[in-house]
A and B are shown apart, each in its own frame.
Chain A
Amino acid sequence: MEEGVKVVGFWPSPYSQKVIWALKQKGVAYDYIEEDLSNKSQLLMKSNPVYKKIPVLLHGGKPIAESSVILEYIEETWPQNPLLPKEAYERASARFWIQFGAEKGPTFGSLFTSTAGEEQDKAAKDALEVLKILEEQGLGNNKFFGGDSINLVDLALGWLAHWFQCIEELVEIKLIEPTTLPRLHAWVENFNQVPVIHENLPDKKRLLAHMKSIREMSISAK
Chain B
Amino acid sequence: MAESDVKLIGAWPSPFVLRARIALNIKHVDYEFVEEKFGSKSELLLKSNPVHKKIPVLLHAGKPICESLIIVEYVDETWTSGSSILPSDPYDRAIARFWAAYVDEKFFPSMKGIAAAPNEEAKKAALEQVESGLAFLEEAFGKISKGKPFFGGEQIGHIDIAFGSLLAWLRVTEKTTGLKLLDQAKTTPQLAKWAETFCQHPAVSGVMPETEKLAEFAKLLFAKMKGINPQ
Q: A72, B65: Cβ atoms under 8 Å?
A: no
Interface window among A63-71, A116-124, A175-183, A193-201: A63-71
CA distance A99 to B72 in the complex (A): 14
Taking the nearest CB of chain B, how far is it from the CB of A90, in angstroms? 10
Q: Does B28 have its Cβ within 8 Å of any Cβ on chain A?
A: no
Q: Does A1 have its Cβ within 8 Å of any Cβ on chain B?
A: no
How many residues on B have C-beta within 8 angstroms of the other chain's C-beta atoms? 24
Number of A-B residue pairs at CB separation under 8 A: 58
User: Known interface pairs A73-B90, A73-B94, A88-B77. Does A137 touch B51 (Cβ–Cβ under 8 Å)?
Assistant: yes
CA distance A49 to B91 in the complex (A): 17
Q: A76, B66: Cβ atoms under 8 Å?
A: no
CA distance A50 to B98 in the complex (A): 10
User: Known interface pairs A62-B91, A73-B91, A95-B70. Does A68 touch B101 (Cβ–Cβ under 8 Å)?
Assistant: yes
Cβ contact of B101, chosen from A66, A89, A100, A137, cutoff 8 A: A66
Q: Does A173 have its Cβ within 8 Å of any Cβ on chain B?
A: no
Q: A91, B77: Cβ atoms under 8 Å?
A: yes
Across-interface contacts of A66 in B (CB, < 8 A): 97-98, 101
Q: A69, B78: Cβ atoms under 8 Å?
A: no
Interface string of B167-188 (1 = CB under 8 A from A): 0000000000000000000000
Provide 10 A-B residue pairs closer than 8 Å at the C-beta atoms, listed in order of the A residue: A50-B136, A59-B91, A64-B95, A68-B101, A69-B98, A72-B97, A76-B90, A92-B65, A92-B73, A96-B65
Cβ contact of B94, chosen from A72, A89, A100, cutoff 8 A: A72
CA distance A99 to B91 in the complex (A): 21
Q: A88, B70: Cβ atoms under 8 Å?
A: no
Q: Does A133 have its Cβ within 8 Å of any Cβ on chain B?
A: yes
User: Known interface pairs A69-B101, A89-B60, A133-B51. Does A95 touch B73 (Cβ–Cβ under 8 Å)?
Assistant: yes
Q: Does A77 have its Cβ within 8 Å of any Cβ on chain B?
A: yes
Across-interface contacts of A65 in B (CB, < 8 A): 98
Max chain A CB contacts within 10 Å: which of B66, B70, B71, B94? B94
Interface of chain B: mostly helix, strand, loop or mixed: helix
Kindly identify, within residues 64 to 96 of chain B, every residue whose CB is under 8 Å from any CB belonging to chain A. 65-67, 70-71, 73-74, 77-78, 90-91, 93-95
Q: Does B63 have its Cβ within 8 Å of any Cβ on chain A?
A: yes
Max chain A CB contacts within 10 Å: which of B60, B65, B97, B98? B98
Q: Does B50 have its Cβ within 8 Å of any Cβ on chain A?
A: yes
Interface string of A50-63 (1 = CB under 8 A from B): 10000000010010
Taking the nearest CB of chain A, how far is it from the CB of B161, in angstroms? 16
Interface string of B38-77 (1 = CB under 8 A from A): 0000000000001100000000100101110011011001
Interface string of A82-105 (1 = CB under 8 A from B): 000000110110011001100000
User: Known interface pairs A89-B60, A92-B65, A96-B67. Does A64 touch B98 (Cβ–Cβ under 8 Å)?
Assistant: yes
Give the residue name and chain of the A residue nearest to B90 (CB). A76
Cβ contact of A89, chosen from B74, B102, B106, cutoff 8 A: B74
Q: A95, B67: Cβ atoms under 8 Å?
A: yes
Across-interface contacts of A76 in B (CB, < 8 A): 90, 93
Q: B90, A99: Cβ atoms under 8 Å?
A: no
CA distance A64 to B60 in the complex (A): 32
